Amino acid sequence: MIGLSLLLTLGSILIGWAFEVITPKAKSIFREEYISVVVKLNPAQTSKAVIRTETESITLKLEKDKEIYCKTVKIIPGKNRIGVEITGKDGKVQLKVIPVFMASQVFPAGNTPPKDFKVSGFHKGKSEALCAECHKSKSNTAVGAENCKQCHGNILNRKFPHPPSVAGCTLCHTGGERSKYAWKEPISDTCFMCHGDKKNIWYSKKYMHGPPSTGRCYICHNPHSEDVRFFLKKQTNDLCTTCHSEKREEKHPLVGFVFGDAHPVSGKPDPARPGFELACTGCHNPHASNYRFFFQNDYSGEAILCLRCHKK
Amino acid sequence: MIITVILTVVLSLVWGSEVIHPPFQTGDCSMCHVKTKDGYSEALTVKVPDLCYMCHPRKDDKKVVHNPVKAGACTLCHDPHKSRTPKLLKADSLNELCLSCHPSIQRLMAKPNIHPPVKLMGCTACHDPHSENNELRLKMPKKEICFMCHPQIKDVRDNSPNKHSALLIREGCLNCHNPHGSDHPKYLKYAIPKDLCLSCHDKVMAREEDGKRIKNMAKHFAQNKDPHGPNQWGDCVMCHNPHGSENYRILKGSFPSGFYSSFSKDNYICFMCHDATPFTQKETTVTGFRNGKLSLHYIHVNKDKGITCRDCHDWHATNGLPHHLKEYTEFGKVKFPLNYTPTKNGGFCGPLCHPRRGYDRVKPVVNPR
């Protein structure tokens, strides 16, 4: 791989034209599925430029005097190869392949980033100065989301946008060592700025579910936008059974109680929550509970859990 | 007087041990040889082997026939008159006779560990010298013959809920053992059990019973340089019973199969070597994993839904982290990092199970909820 890129670099010097991929950096880790690709090339010597990802290939519209081209592409959980293929006016083709990784706790492919991959901040030094030629990347303010959206707009375009992310990125991306738009771990402290009531409720309960207890809300929720309600990264039952995978195969719950089969857990309206279908969360609280199995209500004694739907 | 007695005894022993072919003993040579005018000639009345088969049952009627038998050369091995060796053999012992044509076996006879039947009973303990229906003229099929003497292994193989398919595929016992002899204990094919095990477990395998996948152990050991206990000297069989077992993963003691289990000392093979005190006593100083005196092993395992050793430790080999801690643990279909960082008198852990928490043996850490 290194040999190949060296050869390509050497070749391009000899041929007399070159191009540069400014971002993403090789071996970067991302959490969002949309990332920006920025290519610097010489339009006078280039006849065609294509960006290839694992799922799509995008041909750039070349302009006469434009050297820098930005494109937002979609990546998949786990290992991705972003290929930039430039065809010169002389017909010679050069290819640069940039390996990146999309980390995600709820997609098994994205569970284990390779050791030599790391999160690299973009908004600093040279790379930002380069963007500042077109974008006002230095003049961003707390509500300057419009400016961010020029490159990162796609992450807000899913069905349910999270209001603060639409209002202003820097509400949460307050900056840190890595980049001036980095966010702080644990992210829950940032979330609790608005969702403080939840903090009080959860932490007063007897049991807390592992993932939310770690303060990494982004494990299940997408803070920008999502196609699923509650900004969940998958449909509720799908999400729960990613980790609790045995529940996907076995019958659950109350096997033998309801005419020999199990109680339905999906596909039917939930009487206790109008507008929702039955799901794991109909009975279990995904964050915290005072009752065993994270039941939404006490099922012991007078069977209050059942009475949520079966009122007499 | 005494000399006469000794002579008589010795002579009687010598003559007594001689085996004489009954027709020869009768002195009636015409039973086999042609009678001529001036006595008997060497010529036979009927050709060998048909002559032999006049009295003896046929020896070449099974599937696999020994070449001399196929050629009808009975007298290649047997002396038709008399011999010092039982079965009228033409050598001083049975094995010597076999070795005269099969010199490669001589090399095996020089090994430090010889399978007793080879020496004590001879080759015919397992092989039929004439013909048999089984491969190599074995007296029973290759996969079963060992059980003539080792029935307890057959019992383990057939009745264990968790089977090792090595006993059932290809050559059965002979996949691992050399039936004649070996340089290594238990007549194993490799000096170190681990090398033997990894000769098959160098790829991902599926359990025959339930299709569950067994990881590529050779790769696991190659990637993780810090082997645990018995793996340091390659002793897989210290924990696993290669013939089969009623325990999870053919272990020699019980071990829970899932992420959660209620704790009992008897549920873990680990306590064959490890002290169980930190797991049974809430306050102790015999473990490093304690916050002050509070044993954190006790806290982690002592619940209805306590966690098991596997959730934090890898007992085969790990890479870098102390105490054979895993970098990632598996829960359902996902893997998550333990995020363990050691400190001088303790450490911090930040898995998905609970918020980042720490412990310190000297100054107990006060953890947030």
User: What is the pLDDT, as a whole number, of residue A64?
Assistant: 86
Q: How many CA atoms within 13 Å lie on the side-chain side of A297?
A: 13
Confirm whether A47 is domain-assigned. yes
Same domain, A287 and A310: yes
Task: Tell whether the model's pLDDT for residue A1 goes beyond 50.
Answer: no
Q: Greatest CA span in chain B, whole angstroms? A: 118
User: What is the pLDDT, as a whole number, of residue A14?
Assistant: 47
Place of tokens 């059932």: B168
Domain assignment of residue A46, given as a range: 2-111
- For residue A260, name the pLDDT band (cuts at 50, 70, 90): low
Task: Tell whether the model's pLDDT for residue A166 goes beyond 90.
Answer: no
- CA-nearest of B132, B127, B130, B135 to B66 is B130
Q: What is the pTM of this model?
A: 0.77
The C-alpha atoms of residue B339 and residue A63 are separated, in whole angstroms, by: 48
Q: Per the omega criterion (within 30 degrees of 0), is the bond before B151 cis? A: no
Tell me how many domains chain A contains: 3
Cross-chain Cβ contact A208/B328 below 8 Å? no
Mutation for testing the A interface, residue in B212, B336, B354, B369 having most A CBs under 10 Å: B336
Output DSSP code: residue B17: T
Cross-chain Cβ contact A241/B355 below 8 Å? no
Burial class (CB in 10 A: 0-12, 13-18, 19+), B253: middle
Same domain, A194 and A98: no
Ranges of each domain in chain B: 46-137, 140-249, 254-360
Q: What is the pLDDT of residues B16-47, one digit of tens each?
A: 578 899 989 988 888 888 888 877 778 888 88
Residues of A in contact with B354 (CB under 8 A): 208, 210, 213-214
User: What is the pLDDT, as a whole number, of residue A50?
Assistant: 94
Q: Which of A233, A262, A294 is the last residue of a domain?
A: A233
The identity of residue A26, as a single letter, is A
Same domain, A93 and A175: no
B114 strand-pairing partners: B181
Q: Which of A96, A111, A126 is the last residue of a domain?
A: A111
Cross-chain Cβ contact B352/A214 below 8 Å? yes
The C-alpha atoms of residue B250 and residue B352 are separated, in whole angstroms, by: 30
Q: What is the pLDDT of residues A124-159, one digit of tens each?
A: 778 878 887 777 765 455 445 677 888 888 898 899
Q: What is the pLDDT of residues A99-115, one digit of tens each?
A: 999 999 999 999 999 99
CATH for A24:
2.60.40.10
Cross-chain Cβ contact A108/B351 below 8 Å? no
Task: Tell whether the model's pLDDT for residue A79 goes beyond 60.
Answer: yes
B192: Cβ contacts below 8 Å, ≥ 6 apart: B233, B234
Q: CA dist B104 to B107, B138, B174, B186, Å?
A: 6, 18, 18, 21
First and final CA of chain A: distance in angstroms?
Answer: 69
H-helix segments, A49-204? 125-131, 145-152, 163-167, 188-191, 196-204
First and final CA of chain B: distance in angstroms?
Answer: 104
The C-alpha atoms of residue A88 and residue A81 are separated, in whole angstroms, by: 22
Same domain, A12 and A105: yes
User: What is the pLDDT, as a whole number, of residue B3?
Assistant: 62
The identity of residue B6, as a single letter, is I
Weakest-pLDDT range from A10-24, A81-95, B65-79: A10-24
CB B361 within 8 A of CB B287: no
Same domain, A252 and A267: yes
Q: What average pLDDT score do residues B101-123 get?
A: 87
Mutation for testing the B interface, residue in A104, A106, A112, A233 having most B CBs under 10 Å: A112
Q: How much is the ipTM here?
A: 0.74
Cross-chain Cβ contact A243/B331 below 8 Å? yes
Same domain, A30 and A96: yes
- Rg, C-alpha atoms of chain B: 33
Cross-chain Cβ contact B328/A112 below 8 Å? yes
The identity of residue B83, as a single letter, is S
Would you put residue A215 in left (φ > 0), alpha (ψ -120 to 50) or beta?
left
Confirm whether A24 is domain-assigned. yes
Mutation for testing the B interface, residue in A117, A206, A243 having most B CBs under 10 Å: A243
Weakest-pLDDT range from A267-276, A300-309, B210-219: A300-309
- CA-nearest of B8, B76, B28 to B48 is B76
Same domain, A154 and A218: yes
